[in-house]
């Protein structure tokens, strides 16, 4: 997951933006990302976002007319990069190598961009009011496309039988857990805030969990 970009956001200035305008929009969005990821949409306020951005509320409202517009701008900037790891699964690759690489890409996204992951999770938990169309169109189409690749590998005997879509759901839930529930993970492991050393062990465990099952237990190194 790449850092949120303001390039595709729709705000009050459709013409070319000055450098200061671009910097202020980015500043607002980064502050909002922190506030939304910690408090969810309903718990976030314009006052909190303005404070986190170190600017006045009237100044913030010059760039975004309300909290919802900021939230939608963040999500819009996130969707393409959220899909990127899945898009990279190649039908021409070796099945377990492709799946293993996908698991590592998802874990890397969780490690590098936990706030973005929580923003997305909070939107889904709220019923996806702002990205429901995306889930039904772009995401579904991409999942259907990759599920066909996985099913072909299964039919060819290259992977153990399973439901391809539920395999993807399981990978999402396990990899994104380390971002969305990082506090729980650190407390249980006895690690200090900011310590992400557990991602190495997580990658090894998920390889064993998924690839061991897909390859067959006897084939696991």
Q: What is the 3-state secondary structure (H, E, C) of 71-124?
A: HHHHHHHHHHHHHHHHHCCCCCCCHHHHHHHHHHHHHHHHHHCHHHHHHHHHHH
Of 17, 178, 60, the residue nearest 111 (C-alpha): 178
Give the pLDDT of residue 77. 84
More confident call, 194 vs 88: 88
Q: Is the pLDDT of residue 217 over 60?
A: no
The 10s digit of each residue's pLDDT in 180-190 is: 999 999 999 99
Q: What is the pLDDT of residue 218?
A: 44
Over the stretch 27-37, which tens digit does the pLDDT of each residue have? Answer: 999 999 999 98
188: CB partners within 8 A, 6+ apart: none
| Lowest mean pLDDT segment, chosen from 6-20, 135-149, 165-179 | 6-20
Whole-angstrom distance, CA of residue 206 vs CA of residue 221: 14
pLDDT tens-digit map of 83-96: 999 999 999 999 99
Q: How far apart are CA 91 and CA 96, in angstroms?
A: 12
H or E stretch covering 139: none
Architecture, CATH, for domain 1-78: Orthogonal Bundle (1.10)
- Rg of the chain, C-alpha, whole Å: 20
Cβ proximity of 175 and 100 under 8 Å: no
- What's the length of the chain? 221
Tokens 């529930």 belong to residue: 181
Least confident of 81-85, 135-139, 188-192, 201-205: 81-85
Q: Domain segments of the chain: what residues?
A: 1-78, 88-219
Q: Which fold has domain 88-219?
A: Tetracycline Repressor; domain 2 (1.10.357)
């Amino acid at each position: 997951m790449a850092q949120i970009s303001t390039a595709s956001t729709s705000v009050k200035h459709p013409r070319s933006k000055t450098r200061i305008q671009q910097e202020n929009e980015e500043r607002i969005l980064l502050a909002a990302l922190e506030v939304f990821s910690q408090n969810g949409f309903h718990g976030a306020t314009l006052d909190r976002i303005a404070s986190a951005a170190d600017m006045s509320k009237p100044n913030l409202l010059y760039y975004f007319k309300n909290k919802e517009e900021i939230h939608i701008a963040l999500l819009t900037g996130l969707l393409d990069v959220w899909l990127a790891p899945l898009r990279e699964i190649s039908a021409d690759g070796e099945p377990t190598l492709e799946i293993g690489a996908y698991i590592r890409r998802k874990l890397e996204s969780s490690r590098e961009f936990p706030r973005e992951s929580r923003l997305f999770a909070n939107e889904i938990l709220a019923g996806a009011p702002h990205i429901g169309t995306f889930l039904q169109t772009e995401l579904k189409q991409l999942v259907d496309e990759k599920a066909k690749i996985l099913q072909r590998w299964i039919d060819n005997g290259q992977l153990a039988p399973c439901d391809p879509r539920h395999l993807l759901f399981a990978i999402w839930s396990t990899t994104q857990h380390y971002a969305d529930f990082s506090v729980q993970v650190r407390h249980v492991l006895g690690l200090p805030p900011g310590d992400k050393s557990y991602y190495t062990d997580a990658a090894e465990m998920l390889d064993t969990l998924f690839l061991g099952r897909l390859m067959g237990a006897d084939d696991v190194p």
